[in-house]
């Protein structure tokens, strides 16, 4: 039995530490097992021969690893592929029921809690809208929600939960006035120890990441990442954020804030400039609906069930697309991105309208000397932040960091 025995067997899973460090047998075996599972996850299913070719490991090593992972229920066999010379090839796949993880999205208008399986499918989810993010209320929602979901699971399923990944805006106390939140409530986010509070009230390991970075990571792992090794990512929530992917890995920069696209300057009123977040954010649409005498609260009931708000929505989409076009061309002037990916907390039909309008707006700009990236819809959707959060425990315990994963030999 290898070091990656399924969690319900009570095995402690070793972390892969800095690859530049010394390598002993246990660390090498752990690294190779993560590599095999990461390759299988990326490609959906792979045979032993394909894993050996892509990983550079010997066929014998791959056979030993795959037997161990299959014995631990982390890999399952697909149907044999016949029609070739020799023995039929047997593809191996991740077992969706081998591992689960909780993902949390904390937003300025709502929170989400999801239970995700080993292949990225959402099994259960809870949604909580609110007028502003109160730390105590959100902590209670997470803890009570985990309790509710775990009651729906079998003992074996509960034992296979790898951890909790939380995707949250950093410095939530900022922009209190813009979202109409009491300053004293928002100030409490300066001192709340989110990880510590959750660790004290749940039994699972806790992982914290910026919400937009989590969404970008979800797009890299579960979305367009297989097609575009370099892309800039925009996620339009209450405020817009994003991320940068270079060489099939998240790029966080010197201070960890690379891809924080909200402050990027775009044309504003009266010939000046304004931050992108003050144009291409759902809170702007919220204010436009209020000005038109329309109740904006349905924006936050369910991201997938927006109604067509008519002229205010159309005007917001046009202004958002114009700002996104400027931001995309500015970014493409610095880095030759293959794609600009647009997603957000809204239905697919709204995303499609924004992408189409952004493509049109780009063509109205002076593009001399600029190679325009493909402007495409995100593939993960409105739950990208929660899915990205739920990915954190899986990456920590079972899979390789994407910067290593995508260096496969092919």
Rg of the chain in Å (alpha carbons): 22
**Other Cβ atoms closer than 10 A to 26:** 10
In a domain, 404, yes or no: no
Half-sphere exposure (Cβ direction) of 129: Cα atoms closer than 13 Å: 11
Residue indicated by tokens 């696209």: 261
354 and 242 belong to one structural domain: yes
Number of domains in the chain: 3
- 38 and 114 together in one domain: no
For every residue of 329-379, which 3-state class applies, written as one string?
HHHHCCCCCCEEEEEECCCHHHHHHHHHHHHHHHHCCCCCCCCCCEEEECC
Range of the domain at 109: 100-213+386-396
Q: How far apart are CA 379 and CA 220, in angstroms?
A: 10
pTM score of the predicted model? 0.85
Domain boundary among 48, 69, 95: 95
Residues 118 and 14 in one domain: no
| Local confidence pLDDT in tens for the 410 residues of the chain | 333 333 333 333 344 333 334 445 566 778 899 999 988 988 889 999 999 999 889 999 999 999 999 999 999 998 776 655 555 678 999 999 999 999 999 998 999 999 999 999 999 999 999 999 999 999 999 999 999 999 999 999 999 999 999 999 988 888 777 778 888 999 999 999 999 999 999 999 999 999 999 999 999 988 998 899 999 999 999 999 999 999 888 898 888 788 889 999 999 888 899 999 999 999 999 999 999 999 999 999 889 999 999 999 999 999 999 999 999 999 999 999 999 999 999 999 999 999 999 999 999 999 999 999 999 999 999 999 999 999 999 988 888 755 444 445 44
Same domain, 231 and 269: yes
């Amino acid at each position: 039995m290898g070091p990656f025995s399924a969690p319900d067997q009570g095995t402690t899973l070793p972390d892969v530490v800095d690859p530049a460090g010394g390598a002993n047998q246990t660390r090498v075996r752990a690294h190779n097992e993560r590599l095999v599972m990461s390759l299988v996850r990326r490609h959906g299913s792979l045979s032993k021969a394909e894993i050996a070719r892509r990983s550079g490991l010997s066929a014998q090593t791959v056979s030993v690893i795959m037997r161990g992972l299959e014995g631990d229920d982390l890999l399952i066999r697909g149907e044999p592929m016949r029609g070739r010379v020799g023995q039929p090839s047997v593809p191996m796949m991740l077992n969706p029921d081998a591992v689960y993880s909780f993902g949390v999205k904390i937003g300025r208008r709502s929170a989400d809690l999801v239970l995700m399986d080993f292949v990225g499918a959402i099994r259960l989810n809870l949604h909580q809208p609110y007028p502003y993010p109160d730390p105590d209320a959100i902590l209670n929602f997470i803890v009570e929600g985990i309790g509710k979901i775990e009651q729906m699971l079998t003992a074996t399923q509960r034992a296979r939960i790898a951890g909790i990944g939380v995707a949250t805006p950093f410095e939530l106390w900022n922009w209190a006035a813009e979202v109409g939140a009491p300053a004293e409530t928002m100030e409490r986010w300066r001192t709340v120890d989110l990880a510590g509070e959750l660790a004290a009230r749940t039994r699972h390991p806790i992982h914290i990441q910026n919400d937009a970075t989590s969404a970008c990571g979800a797009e890299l792992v579960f979305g367009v990442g297989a097609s575009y090794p370099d892309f800039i990512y925009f996620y339009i929530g209450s405020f817009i954020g994003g991320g940068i992917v270079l060489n099939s890995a998240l790029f966080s920069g010197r201070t960890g804030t690379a891809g924080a696209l909200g402050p990027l300057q775009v044309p504003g009123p009266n010939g000046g400039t304004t931050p992108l977040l003050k144009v291409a954010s759902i809170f702007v649409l919220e204010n436009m609906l209020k000005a038109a005498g329309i109740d904006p609260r349905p924006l936050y009931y369910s991201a997938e069930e927006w109604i067509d708000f008519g002229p205010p929505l159309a005007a917001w989409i046009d202004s958002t697309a114009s700002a996104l076009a400027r931001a995309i061309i500015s970014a493409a002037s610095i880095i030759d991105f293959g794609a600009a990916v647009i997603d957000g907390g809204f239905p697919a039909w709204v995303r499609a309208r924004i992408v189409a309008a952004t493509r049109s707006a780009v063509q109205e700009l002076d593009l001399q000397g600029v190679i325009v990236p493909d402007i495409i819809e995100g593939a993960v959707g409105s739950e990208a932040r929660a899915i990205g959060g739920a990915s954190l425990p899986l990456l920590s315990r079972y899979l390789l960091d994407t910067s290593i994963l995508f260096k496969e030999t092919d």
